[in-house]
Amino acid sequence: MKYLFIRYKKALYRFIRYELKKMQYSYILQNTKFPFFIRAKALMALNILTKKASVRGLRNICLQNQKHHSVSSFFHYGRFAQKLLFYENKLPGLKKYS
């Protein structure tokens, strides 16, 4: 399961690296004050950027056991890992599991 965590870190790094470029190209594309040829270049550059650089390519992965099923987006722990940490009183603000 360690390979999933490595893949997640690579995807997160790729997203962070390309996000600023995507925002800049989107701004140029939506701004009508720029000439048409500059907006067309921005559209082509936006299409060339990898699809894996989007937010949808990221999955939540549990920090304790590197699994991706039933992971809380707030704590980044899986359901079972949350339960164990709750019983050890290491996660504040959780109520009793039933």
The domain limits of the chain are: 1-58, 60-98
Q: CA–CA distance from 37 to each of 1, 40, 46, 48, 61 (Å)?
A: 47, 5, 14, 17, 42
**The predicted structure's pLDDT at residue 98:** 57
Average pLDDT over residues 70-81: 82
**Position 93: which residue type?**
G
State how far the Cα of 89 lies from the Cα of 86, in Å rounded to an integer: 5
pLDDT, tens digit (0-9, with 9 covering 90-100), for 21-64: 888 999 999 999 999 999 999 999 988 886 666 776 677 778 77
Q: Quick one: which of 66, 68, 58, 53 has its CA closest to 5?
A: 66
The dihedral through the CA atoms of 13, 74, 67, 56 has a sign that is negative
What is the structure's pLDDT at 40? 94
Q: What percent of the chain has pLDDT above 70?
A: 87
